[in-house]
Structure 1
Amino acid sequence: MAKHSQFRLLAERRFLPFYLTQFSGAFNDNLYKNALLLLITFSAGGVMGMSVNLVVNLAAFLFILPFFLFSGIAGQLADHYEKSRIIRWVKLAEILIMGLAAAGLWFGWYELLLVLLFLMGTQSTFFGPVKYAILPQVLSDDELVGGNGLVSMGTFVAILLGTIAAGLLMTLEAPARYTAVGVVVMAVLGYLAARKVPPTHDRHFAVTVRLRPVVETWRLIILAAQRRQVLLAILAISWFWFLGAAYLTQFPNFSRVHLGGDETVVTLLLALFTIGISVGASLCERLTRHRVSLKPVPWGALGLSLFGIDLFFAVPDFPESSIWLTFLTNPTYLRVLIDLIGVGISGGLFIVPLYAFIQHETPAHQRARIIAALNVINALFMVISALAGMVVLGISNVDIPGFLLSLSLLNGVVLALVTYLRTREFSVSVDK
């Protein structure tokens, strides 16, 4: 089975340069975004007369806004032009944006840095459709689940490492200047990797590129709705991003208030959650036996509910103050750690086969636009997740464990949805 392992793809040129390109991009996004938020929070003390809380929320809004504005155009471009060329254009744009960001970081021009955060979101918007649409062109059907597993694993690990790197840079004497160097270096490395991505030799599809941001985004949703099973898979993936965003957003206060942990415990929770997703993602290829199949998805959905529910009961009534090391050795918290790893593994089992299913079931001439529609709906669900957290935790006076419990119970609806999808997939394969 070694020759069929997904990890062998990391030794092949058709996959490795692309993998390194997307890894560096996810790392750089999170390095820049988190470093900027930390600098604003602990150094700048607000921008343009606004409070820190307002600026932090404005930054999140600026990064996610381009997904709503430009995903339609991004999908059209990715379906119309050769994909390796688009990847190089996007990575070259990242160098230019990060060059300006370096100047802003060096001289403390925080207003410019917020504008550049919008441009980084725009750059990510144009990379997103290519990121997943290219995989079915460079991988065979029996490699598609494994390739998606590697990409998902790499993305989450890059997010974790970028977040940790931003925190470590803040401990240095001149964090802004070290960050300035770091983001430019990562952008250049990403572009060098992109130059090694082989041409995909796309068929030229006659897709009209229209520069109508909001209108074309809406047309994406209409396009995605034309194939019911693909739309259901998109909604299921977006639900996971809703759930994941809720966990990641609540980790700091969950750690401080309900676990008695400090900043190192927050990093530990994030690391365990990410490791769990990576493990789940890497298991999908073996569980599906190298086929595009939704077989692991209902089990992943079930795990999201069961581990999430158990997490509610695992939270101690009277937490003891602890750092990450004592947290690992305290039996009181081991159940919490196991539950978080379990939620992560379940998440990996849940999303990877769904991504492969969407790629496999979507016609080649529409694939990038369908992925762009997925990105729009993902962004929408993450915004709704933040609003739900504000309403439930701020207005309804529910605590964080109760909020996560309610999401785990609500996940039962998603379990029914993906079980239906799996049943439909099985019935179709039997008919064939």
Structure 2
Amino acid sequence: MSQPSQPSQFSLLTQRRFGPFFWTQFLGAFNDNLFKTALLVILTYDALSWTTIEPGLLNNLIPGLFILPFVLFSATAGQIADKFDKARLARFVKLLEIVIMLVAGIGWMTHTLWLLIAAVVGMGLHSTLFGPVKYAYLPQQLKPEELVGGNGVIEMGTFVGILLGEVAGALLVAYQPWGIHLVAGGTLFCAVLGLLTSMRIPPSPAPAPELKISRNPFAESVRNLKFSSQNRTVFLSMLGNSWFWFYGALVLSQFPVYAKDYLHGDHSVFVLLLTVFSLGIGAGSLLCEKLSGHKVEIGLVPFGSIGLSVFGVDLYFASMAYSNTAVVDAFALVSLPGVWRILGDLVLIGVFGGLFIVPLFALIQTRCDQKHVSRTIAGMNILNAIFMVAAAGVAILLLGQGFTIPELFLVTALLNACVAVYIFSLVPEFLMRFLAWMLIHTGYRVRTIDADRIPEQGPAVLVCNHVSYVDALVIGAASPRPIRFVMDHRIFKTPFLGWIFRAAKAIPIAPAKEDPFLMERAFVDIAQALHEGELVCIFPEGKLTHTGEINEFRNGISKIVERSKVPVIPMALRGLWGSVFTRDKTNVFERSFARGIRSKLALAVGQPVAPDVASPEYLQQQVLALRGDWK
């Protein structure tokens, strides 16, 4: 769907309200992963000089220890982020990182594994404290239309930071004889650099400075999750986000052993796997802004989930087809048969992962209680941590039962499909937005005109001409928030589309002479929806047009605004008449070929009309003027 031209999301990097925060976050992600990857590589390829513990166990145990603080302290971190200025908190967290890296440096220099593991837990605490700050800072500093782009840049920066950190960690620790010294010095340098960038973050006032910090993190965790669960859509989005981290943690934690034992590669092959996966997530995160049209488009979430399963399954088959047994480096690997399929699967898992996770973050940020953003993000971090601990447990259990790593990839992809079906059945809005998004990105080229006039908060009635069976999908795709559609009870019962309308809580209506009870119930439901601050869309003609012209507006709109004194937003659909979804009586096949693939249509939105002047005649004039001569 085309939108008015918007500044590039990368222009945010030049602004103080975003740039210093981005680089602080980037350096934190980079340093976390430089340290963790260096430790994992040394324990995978040089295990005997450090410990007698099985490398496969350590590859799942160390990430589990890193996220343990998320389980224990996320709720407290959320309270702290809501109570104090986020710029000051960022600087405190960066000071803590310097201390942790000093401890890790001693561990590297003295060859003391338990000190390094303590630093892993410390970096987990560092990330626990910074997590709520990161995602609550953005909605405070960015405009609504910048939020998806800003989240995309942050996610891209996070995963590029992860990628570069993992690459640097794997390369530096293997540089003999100075590898350990380079890692120790490099992590300390990055921590200091992160502190310097945090000094430039502008003040970000606390939304709840009067908040009292609970001394019981466990009770606060339960209270936090209970509060978040009151908003069903937000809570299920949090679960969806946490599921992605389960998926990612289970797959990523296998990369060192997968590279060494299945692809028969050296550490450069491990670096290559991390590179393509992280580049995929970065690309998917950036694609979100373009594909979503500069708004929170949760229709991308099912699309991302489908890709995670499809390419996860294909990764299993691609891995089983790989036959090389000779030890190779990254350059030799890419010349082997079947390897590009494996790398392609990893890239696409990353791309679809980015499409999955960025809209979920933006939805959580915009729909949760704005005084509770940090605590909501903290609740999500608790869930993320629980899911990642579960991922480590599942991996250890399945590997102990004799599962191979490719089989682990297959199980994860199939589980993802089951979880997606379950979540989307609980929140049908995801599926409806996905279908709407698919319709307007495959069948049509849609242009919106003044779509920002649709209010982002508060009740309003939207009125539009009724041209086709998919009017609701086109209008819904253009709206920044869910809409309750009022529609003819016969269209409401249309096979397949009717199921979508029921799932979206559409309100069926019938003429009084057909079903007076259903008509009256519809007006009661409309009044209730508006009382609860929702958007309601009606088609005042009461029926689909048979000619392409706008029929007379009926008196139902007057009855609605008499009961609920809310603004009325006139809208007009252009270009749908004659499509296969209309009641045009000419030959359907001729019409389809005449219009061509991805035919143009538009949705024009007018100025809000006060309820006291929102007569059917006046609104019809407004809609007719908005539509013009283009049916």
* The two structures share one fold, judged by TM-score above 0.5: yes
SS of corresponding position for 1:173: coil
> What is residue 211 of structure 1 aligned with on the other side?
215
| Aligned: 1:354 with 2:360 | yes
Change (3 A) 1:58 1:340: closer
SS of corresponding position for 1:294: coil
| Aligned: 1:72 with 2:75 | yes
> What is residue 405 of structure 1 aligned with on the other side?
410
- Once the two structures are overlaid, the 10-residue window that deviates more, 274-283 or 249-258, is 249-258
Change (3 A) 1:62 1:308: closer
Whichever residue aligns with residue 154 of structure 2, its letter is V
| Aligned: 1:429 with 2:482 | yes
- What is the CA–CA distance in structure 1 between the aligned matches of 2:351 and 2:41, rounded to whole Å? 29
SS of corresponding position for 2:253: helix
> What is residue 100 of structure 1 aligned with on the other side?
103
- Once the two structures are overlaid, the 10-residue window that deviates more, 256-265 or 242-251, is 256-265
- Once the two structures are overlaid, the 10-residue window that deviates more, 373-382 or 160-169, is 160-169
Change (3 A) 1:45 1:259: closer
Q: How does 1:21-40 map to 2 (within 5 A)?
A: 21-39=24-42
Asked if the contact 1:300–1:349 (Cα under 8 Å) also holds between the matched residues in 2, the reply is yes
- What is the CA–CA distance in structure 2 between the aligned matches of 1:29 and 1:122, rounded to whole Å? 11
Whichever residue aligns with residue 105 of structure 1, its letter is W
Give the drift of 1:71. Answer: 0.9
Change (3 A) 1:167 1:258: closer
Give the drift of 1:34. Answer: 2.7
Give the drift of 1:104. Answer: 3.6
| Aligned: 1:19 with 2:26 | no
Asked if the contact 2:27–2:194 (Cα under 8 Å) also holds between the matched residues in 1, the reply is yes
- RMSD, matched Cα: 2.4
Asked if the contact 2:167–2:275 (Cα under 8 Å) also holds between the matched residues in 1, the reply is no
Change (3 A) 1:129 1:424: farther
> What is residue 184 of structure 1 aligned with on the other side?
188
Change (3 A) 1:268 1:376: same
Change (3 A) 1:318 1:179: closer
| Aligned: 1:288 with 2:296 | no
TM-score (norm 2): 0.64
Whichever residue aligns with residue 348 of structure 1, its letter is G
Whichever residue aligns with residue 30 of structure 2, its letter is F
Q: How does 1:36-51 map to 2 (within 5 A)?
A: 36-39=39-42, 42=46, 45-46=49-50, 51=53
Identity %: 43
SS of corresponding position for 1:134: helix
Change (3 A) 1:412 1:115: closer
Whichever residue aligns with residue 410 of structure 1, its letter is L
- What is the CA–CA distance in structure 2 between the aligned matches of 1:407 and 1:39, rounded to whole Å? 27
> What is residue 381 of structure 1 aligned with on the other side?
387
Q: Give the structure, 1 or 2, with the largest relative contact order (CA under 8 Å, sep 6 or more).
A: 1
> What is residue 115 of structure 1 aligned with on the other side?
118
Give the drift of 1:290. Answer: 0.5
Q: Which structure has the larger Rg?
A: 2
Give the drift of 1:262. Answer: 3.4
Change (3 A) 1:52 1:392: closer
Give the drift of 1:331. Answer: 4.2
Unaligned residue ranges in structure 1 (runs of 5+): none
| Aligned: 1:338 with 2:349 | no
- What is the CA–CA distance in structure 1 between the aligned matches of 2:388 and 2:49, rounded to whole Å? 27
Give the drift of 1:199. Answer: 0.6
Whichever residue aligns with residue 246 of structure 2, its letter is F
- What is the CA–CA distance in structure 2 between the aligned matches of 1:390 and 1:221, rounded to whole Å? 27
Give the drift of 1:316. Answer: 4.6
The one-character-per-residue Cα deviations of 1:122-147 (angstroms, maximum 9, x if unpaired) are 12111111011100011111111111
Give the drift of 1:60. Answer: 3.7
Give the drift of 1:177. Answer: 2.3
- What is the CA–CA distance in structure 2 between the aligned matches of 1:143 and 1:21, rounded to whole Å? 20
Counterpart among 307, 311, 335 of residue 307 in structure 1: 311
Give the drift of 1:2. Answer: 7.2
Whichever residue aligns with residue 418 of structure 2, its letter is V
SS of corresponding position for 2:311: helix
Whichever residue aligns with residue 75 of structure 2, its letter is G
Asked if the contact 2:82–2:373 (Cα under 8 Å) also holds between the matched residues in 1, the reply is yes
- What is the CA–CA distance in structure 2 between the aligned matches of 1:386 and 1:229, rounded to whole Å? 27
> What is residue 13 of structure 2 aligned with on the other side?
10
Aligned positions, number: 429
| Aligned: 1:392 with 2:394 | no
- What is the CA–CA distance in structure 1 between the aligned matches of 2:68 and 2:309, rounded to whole Å? 30
SS of corresponding position for 1:4: coil
The one-character-per-residue Cα deviations of 1:2-48 (angstroms, maximum 9, x if unpaired) are 7521111111111010000011111111222233344556378346x
Give the drift of 1:58. Answer: 5.5
Counterpart among 220, 227, 230 of residue 224 in structure 2: 220
Counterpart among 233, 238, 244 of residue 240 in structure 1: 244
Asked if the contact 1:280–1:344 (Cα under 8 Å) also holds between the matched residues in 2, the reply is yes
Unaligned residue ranges in structure 2 (runs of 5+): 434-475, 485-534, 536-631
> What is residue 201 of structure 1 aligned with on the other side?
205
Q: Looking at secondary structure, tell me which structure has more helix per residue.
A: 1
- What is the CA–CA distance in structure 2 between the aligned matches of 1:413 and 1:176, rounded to whole Å? 44
